[in-house]
């Protein structure tokens, strides 16, 4: 029996998708196997001083060799969907030209294992591992990269399209462009506001061209995944209904345009917000935007993938210099909060997710919503064969309650994928920050489901969340 008596659980919609997400460079390792070419993350992680403790993704979770065991583990956890990314340099080592058989074979086997385990594969085509050869020709600042990505899309879809229904083009173009080209804390490590805007535009163009290819090839569901960040004043963190001053509202709107609408509006409305165009003009011009680009970018898509971790908290502060990650953010102060934080130092604000989902379904009603990432790094306590991560469970519980509230308010949320399936290479933080619901011992490669994974399995099994008062032993537990 399930605990479905009214009031005992927060039931999610019947066909709600429950799963977990990863990305190729963060888990695969096997950096030189199967004819894989170097990506910008190989170059970056092997550059001294770039990654905490000099960590690299050379071995990572060795998932390339352990994928079959990993799929078995996913099945044991009851996952209905698994979101992974395809490493472009495994398929086209120099970013162009014919596909490498070993690379395609790997993803082919992975997809078959998933389907045999009744887990739906959700494929991300770009999760930051650009072939280094393309970076040598300008990377995402070069318009041609977008066309190379369309070719890559076609190759991957030709091989996997008969079995993969859901396709995500680009993961988090804000992070790729701003952290990679704007401030240089991610690969390729460049630091120029003008380049970041160019790169962002070409990433959007790549999304549009890729979506066209997928549509023409008959893909069932096409998505763009964005790191969407509710922007709020310090007062709104604890009281979402608070009405900010006119100055604070302007600050919130400007940052919302830079981090969210710079991507949402071209993809879903075919235009850049005016404040973004004005800032782009100041930062080096808008010549990279050609006639027809916005039509290409504005492809009909089925799903918007939402990666939510933490809000952005700002207020007006005349005289404050611009924050390098937000060109044009003069006179805005980026503020801390009193909310508890994760090991990343990110404030934990579950209501940010309900706000975000409600706002998206109001402002962009034509697209379905899917949480493609939500999760947290904590300093987990390993105790024998258990990993106690009550903080992570509480984090997910809070965010699932928030997601449920948004659904009740009418948001068209189709599913929820936790970040991440297992501890992995957390980019600039290396292996020091653990986001997994499964613990990984990076010496032995042993996987150990954390308490949060066991809790998540129950959530999936019941298609819902127990209310506080359902915490007492359930019918099953006492039966």
In this complex, which beta carbon is closest to ligand PNW, that of residue 26 or of residue 296? Answer: 26
The yes or no reply on residue 210 touching ligand PNW (CB under 6 A) is no
> Which is nearer to ligand PNW, 26 or 39 (by Cβ)?
26
Q: Answer yes or no: are the C-beta atoms of 276 and 262 closer than 8 Å.
A: yes
Q: How many of the other CB atoms lie within 10 Å of CB of 4? A: 11
Residue-wise over 404-425: b if at least 16 C-beta within 10 A, else e? bbbbeeebbbbbbbbbbbbbbb
How near is the Cβ of 273 to ligand PNW at its closest, in Å? 20
Residues 110/30, Cβ–Cβ less than 8 Å: no
Number of residues that bind ligand PNW (CB under 6 A): 11
**423 counts as binding ligand PNW under rule CB under 6 A:** no
Pick the closer one to ligand PNW by CB: 425 or 456. 425
Q: Please identify which residue in 10, 23, 155, 258 interacts with ligand PNW, judged by CB under 6 A.
A: 23
Stretch that binds ligand PNW, among 3-11, 169-177, 202-210, 216-224 (CB under 6 A): 169-177
Among 153, 171, 210, 355, contact with ligand PNW (rule: CB under 6 A) = 171
> What residue spans of 117-192 are helical by DSSP H?
132-135, 144-160, 173-174
Specify the residue, 150 or 377, whose C-beta has the smaller distance to ligand PNW: 377
Q: Does 124 bind ligand PNW (CB under 6 A)?
A: no
Catalytic (active-site) positions: 172, 373
User: Between 433 and 452, how does the x/- string for binding to ligand PNW read (CB under 6 A)?
Assistant: --x-----------------
Using the minimum distance from each CB to ligand PNW, give the nearer residue, 296 or 420. 420
DSSP SS3 for 414: strand
Kindly state whether residue 260 participates in binding ligand PNW, applying the rule CB under 6 A.
Answer: no
172 binds ligand PNW (CB under 6 A): yes
Token code pair at residue 438: 């499964």
Of 120, 132, 227, 393, the one binding ligand PNW by CB under 6 A: 227
Q: Does 419 bind ligand PNW (CB under 6 A)?
A: yes
Answer whether 379's CB lies under 8 Å from 45's CB. no
Of 359, 467, 350, nearest in space to 409 by CA: 359
- Interface residue with ligand PNW among 129, 373, 389, 397 (CB under 6 A) is 373
153 or 227, CB closer to ligand PNW? 227
Positive or negative, the CA dihedral 108, 110, 113, 115 is: negative
Residues of 451-466 as b/e, b for ≥16 C-beta within 10 angstroms?
A: bbbebbbebbebbbbb
Smallest distance from the beta carbon of 318 to ligand PNW, in angstroms? 26
State how beta strands 386-388 and 381-383 pair: antiparallel
Distance, C-alpha 19 to centroid of its chain? 13
Give Cα separations from 343 to 223, 348, 432, 433, 441 (angstroms): 30, 11, 10, 7, 18
Closer residue to ligand PNW, CB minimum distance, 171 or 233: 171
Cα separation of the two ends of the chain: 10
Q: What is the spatial distance between Cα 80 and Cα 83, in angstroms, rounded to a whole number?
A: 10
Give 20's strand partners: 82, 418
Residue recorded with tokens 């998206």:
360
Gap between the Cα atoms of 311 and 240, Å rounded: 12
Site map (CB under 6 A) of ligand PNW, residues 333-362, x = contact: ------------------------------
Closer to ligand PNW by Cβ: residue 92 or 307: 307
b/e map 231-247, b = 16+ CB within 10 Å: bbbbebbeeeeeebeee
- Interface characters, 75-114, with ligand PNW (x: CB under 6 A): ----------------------------------------
Least distance in angstroms from the C-beta of 172 to ligand PNW: 5
Binding piece for ligand PNW, criterion CB under 6 A, among 97-105, 170-178, 271-279, 356-364: 170-178
Residue span binding ligand PNW (CB under 6 A) among the ranges 87-95, 105-113, 168-176, 439-447: 168-176
Binding residues vs ligand PNW (CB under 6 A) = 23, 26, 171-172, 175, 227, 307, 373, 419, 426, 435
């Amino acid at each position: 029996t399930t605990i479905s008596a009214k009031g005992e659980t927060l039931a999610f919609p019947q066909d709600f998708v429950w799963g977990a997400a990863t990305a190729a460079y963060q888990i695969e390792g096997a950096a030189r196997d199967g004819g894989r070419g170097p990506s910008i993350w190989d170059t970056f992680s092997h550059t001294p001083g770039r990654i905490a403790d000099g960590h690299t993704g050379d071995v990572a979770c060795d998932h390339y060799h352990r994928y079959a065991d990993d799929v078995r583990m996913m099945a044991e956890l009851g996952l209905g969907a698994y979101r992974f990314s395809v490493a472009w340099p495994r398929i086209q080592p120099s970013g162009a030209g014919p596909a490498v058989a070993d690379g395609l074979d790997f993803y082919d086997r992975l997809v078959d294992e998933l389907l045999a385990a009744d887990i739906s594969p959700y494929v991300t085509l770009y999760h930051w591992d650009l072939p280094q050869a393309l970076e040598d020709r300008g990377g995402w600042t070069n318009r041609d990269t977008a066309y190379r990505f369309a070719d890559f899309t076609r190759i991957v879809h030709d091989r996997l399209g008969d079995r993969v229904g859901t396709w995500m083009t680009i993961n988090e173009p804000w992070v790729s462009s701003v952290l990679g080209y704007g401030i240089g804390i991610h690969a390729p490590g460049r630091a120029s506001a003008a380049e970041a805007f160019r790169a962002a535009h070409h990433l959007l163009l790549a999304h549009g061209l890729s979506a066209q290819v997928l549509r023409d090839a008959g893909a069932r569901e096409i998505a763009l995944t964005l790191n969407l960040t509710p922007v709020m004043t310090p007062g709104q963190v604890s009281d979402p209904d608070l009405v900010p001053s006119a100055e604070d509202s302007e600050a919130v709107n400007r940052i919302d345009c830079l981090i969210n609408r710079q991507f949402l509006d071209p993809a879903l409305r075919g235009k850049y917000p005016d404040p973004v165009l004005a800032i782009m003009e100041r930062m080096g011009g808008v010549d990279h935007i050609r006639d027809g680009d916005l039509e290409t970018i504005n492809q009909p898509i089925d799903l918007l993938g939402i990666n939510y971790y933490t809000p952005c908290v700002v207020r007006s502060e005349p005289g404050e210099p611009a924050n390098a990650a937000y060109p044009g953010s003069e006179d805005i102060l980026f503020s801390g909060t009193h909310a508890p934080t994760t090991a990343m130092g990110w404030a934990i604000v579950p209501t940010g997710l309900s706000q975000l989902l409600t706002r998206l379904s109001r402002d962009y009603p034509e697209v379905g919503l899917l949480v493609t990432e939500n999760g947290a790094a904590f300093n987990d306590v390993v105790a024998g064969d258990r990993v106690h991560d009550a903080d992570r469970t509480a984090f997910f519980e809070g965010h699932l309650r928030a997601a449920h509230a948004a659904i009740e308010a009418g948001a068209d949320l189709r599913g929820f994928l936790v970040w991440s399936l297992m501890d992995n290479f957390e980019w600039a933080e290396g292996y020091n920050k653990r986001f997994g619901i499964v613990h990984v011992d990076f010496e032995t490669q042993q996987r150990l489901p954390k308490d949060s994974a066991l809790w998540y399995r129950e959530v999936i099994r019941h298609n819902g969340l127990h209310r506080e008062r359902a915490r007492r032993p359930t019918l099953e537990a006492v039966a």
